[in-house]
Amino acid sequence: MPLRAIIGAQWGDEGKGKIVDYLGQEAALVARFQGGANAGHTIYIGEEQTILHQIPAGILHPDTHCLLGNGMVIDPVGLVQEITLLMQRGIDIQGRIHLSSLAHIVSPLHKILDAYQESSRGPLAIGTTKRGIGPCYTDKVSRRGLRLGDFFNRSQAESILAEQLSQLEQQGIIASDQREELAAEMEKFWQAIAFILPFAVNSVELVHAYLQAGKLILAEGAQGTLLDIDFGTYPYVTASNTVAGNICTGLGIGPRQISEVIGVYKAYTTRVGSGPFPTELRDKVGTYLQATGVEFGATTRRPRRCGWFDAVLGRYAALLNGFDSIAITKLDVLNGLDKIKICVKYRGGDFPTIDLNLAEPEYIELPGWQQDLGQPQHFRDLPRAAQHYLRTIEELIGVKIGLISLGRERKQILVVD
Ligand code: IMP
């Protein structure tokens, strides 16, 4: 009963989609266990770019099934758009997308509330994706949320939504002149609900059927460890647990059923939205990484902040998730740099006890490589300086590298044996 997990080890956008796409070739089921349409996985097959927000990257393999697990918050309107896009690309999704009937549903009210809360935070805004994620998880733990299965009783779901709307109106969060616009949104929402309801499944039964049949499941993490609601850079985090521990509750399995956890790290660090980022580069190297790595959010198109690899946070992520191996992505973006730095320590303490806003990183400096990486078959074929850089990361984090991504295409992955 193999279940492999793919977990982001930084602030999201590590390139998990590409790793899931690569490993998804062997998987019978790819399952998401947390988050929602705040994620954005960009996958290139040849020149064709596909951005997925909710449907796991495994959908691009014709025989792989995909599950949106109970731990997710599903945006029906966005999901229908994604399904439509995939169908337009000629991808046969028939019978391959399954939605947990226990997953909570993001309504247009959640998106309004997300935008409202962000604007009322002023300079302390978190920089959310405004996809309604926080408000939907808030409703879930406040025990007034709506799960996909609850929509089978339409009139009850309608009255709960009407009650929520009237509360938002009373609080002045929704003005009366917004009613018409909202009515149009609600109409689209209900159409989307009708479209996706037939995809609803008993996900616990589904997952365990795959496990019992010994078929490979990939659990696809979204966001990254440093955005975890418990362990991340709180309050500048997302509203779910992004670490491997949440696979159990997000899919309905026991801890012993997870057979392997792979951590994905970008060869440098990026972050979208607000919050501390000790190794951030506000100089021309940062601009270089942003331009060369095309560091713009797949969901919001916001420019990503860029910085050096942070091995202090990297080690922390490895501890929290118990990585068996790691994948390093976007190594090629560092081609051509004279020197490359890695943060190995903070002056004055360690995360999470230190206030990261005050953390002063201490770096080691390694030589760069001034050549293209090409398409090496073996680790030893990489430039010496690149090998040294990767081995240093491995040592600092304490976990072996299993995969290296050297470019945006599916085939540009090096397996390290
Ligand atoms: P939310 O998840 O939309 O509530 O946003 C909370 C924080 O997480 C913000 O800083 C977002 O930019 C960040 N975030 C959410 N999803 C992702 C992601 O998939 N990649 C990177 N950052 C994300």
- Give the type of residue at 298: A
In ligand 1, the atom with minimum distance to the C-alpha of 128 is: 5
Whether the predicted pLDDT of 316 surpasses 90: yes
Q: What is the pLDDT of residue 351?
A: 83
Q: C-alpha angle 128/132/138, rounded to 5°? A: 100
The rounded distance, in Å, linking the Cα atoms of 152 and 154 is 6
User: What torsion do the CA atoms of 264, 267, 272, 275 make, to the nearest 10 degrees?
Assistant: 90
The rounded distance, in Å, linking the Cα atoms of 244 and 258 is 9
Mean pLDDT of 14-28: 91
Catalytic residue among 21, 41, 53, 114: 41
Q: Whose CA is nearest to atom 10 of ligand 1?
A: 273
Q: Whose CA is nearest to atom 5 of ligand 1?
A: 128
Mean pLDDT of 370-397: 95
Whether the predicted pLDDT of 298 surpasses 90: no
Mean pLDDT of 202-214: 97
Q: Whose CA is nearest to atom 20 of ligand 1?
A: 12
pLDDT in tens, 76-104: 999 999 999 999 888 999 999 999 999 99
Q: Which helix (H) or strand (E) holds 66?
A: strand 65-68
Q: Which of 171-180, 362-371, 395-404 has the lowest mean pLDDT?
A: 171-180
Q: DSSP label at 3?
A: E
The rounded distance, in Å, linking the Cα atoms of 314 and 309 is 8
C-alpha 129 – ligand 1 centre gap (Å): 6
Closest CA to 364 of 378, 386, 345, 387: 345
What are the φ/ψ torsions at residue 140 (nearest 5 degrees)? -60, -50
* Cβ contact 29:394 at 8 Å: no
Which residue from 41, 54, 223 has its CB within 8 A of the most atoms of ligand 1, so it is best to mutate?
223
Rounded to whole angstroms, what are the CA distances from 99 to 71, 109, 114, 148, 386? 11, 21, 24, 8, 42
Mean pLDDT of 39-66: 86
How many residues in the chain?
Answer: 417
The rounded distance, in Å, linking the Cα atoms of 147 and 159 is 14
Rounded to whole angstroms, what are the CA distances from 226 to 49, 210, 219, 272, 313? 27, 31, 18, 12, 8
Count of CA atoms in the C-beta half-sphere (13 A) of 169? 11
Q: What is the pLDDT of residue 149?
A: 98
pLDDT in tens, 214-235: 999 999 999 999 999 999 999 9
C-alpha 238 – ligand 1 centre gap (Å): 6
pLDDT in tens, 104-140: 999 999 999 999 999 999 989 999 999 999 999 999 9
Mean pLDDT of 65-72: 98
Q: What is the pLDDT of residue 175?
A: 85
- Residue 311: Cβ-neighbour burial (10 angstroms; 0-12, 13-18, 19+): buried
Pair of tokens at residue 220? 């696809």
Pair of tokens at residue 170? 């009373």
What are the φ/ψ torsions at residue 374 (nearest 5 degrees)? 65, -150
The rounded distance, in Å, linking the Cα atoms of 57 and 62 is 11
Give percent above pLDDT 70 in the chain. Answer: 99
Q: Is 41 labeled as catalytic in the residue annotation? A: yes
Closest CA to 105 of 138, 67, 149, 74: 74
Pair of tokens at residue 350? 């360690």
pLDDT in tens, 254-292: 999 999 999 999 999 999 989 999 999 999 999 999 999
Q: Mean pLDDT for the chain?
A: 94
**Helix pair 179-196, 108-120: axis angle to 10 deg:** 130
Whether the predicted pLDDT of 354 surpasses 90: no
CA 256 distance to own-chain centroid:
23
- Give the type of residue at 390: L
Q: What is the pLDDT of residue 1?
A: 57
Ligand 1 pocket by C-beta < 6 Å: which residues?
A: 11-13, 38-40, 126-129, 131, 133-134, 222-223, 227, 236, 238-239, 272-273
* Cβ contact 107:189 at 8 Å: yes
Whether the predicted pLDDT of 410 surpasses 90: no
**Cis geometry, peptide bond prior to residue 123 (ω within 30 degrees of 0):** no
Q: What is the pLDDT of residue 299?
A: 77
Under the banding of pLDDT at 50, 70 and 90, the label for residue 150 is: very high
Q: What is the pLDDT of residue 42?
A: 80
Under the banding of pLDDT at 50, 70 and 90, the label for residue 328 is: very high
- Ranges of beta strands (E only) in 234-319 are 260-266, 269-271, 305-307, 309-310
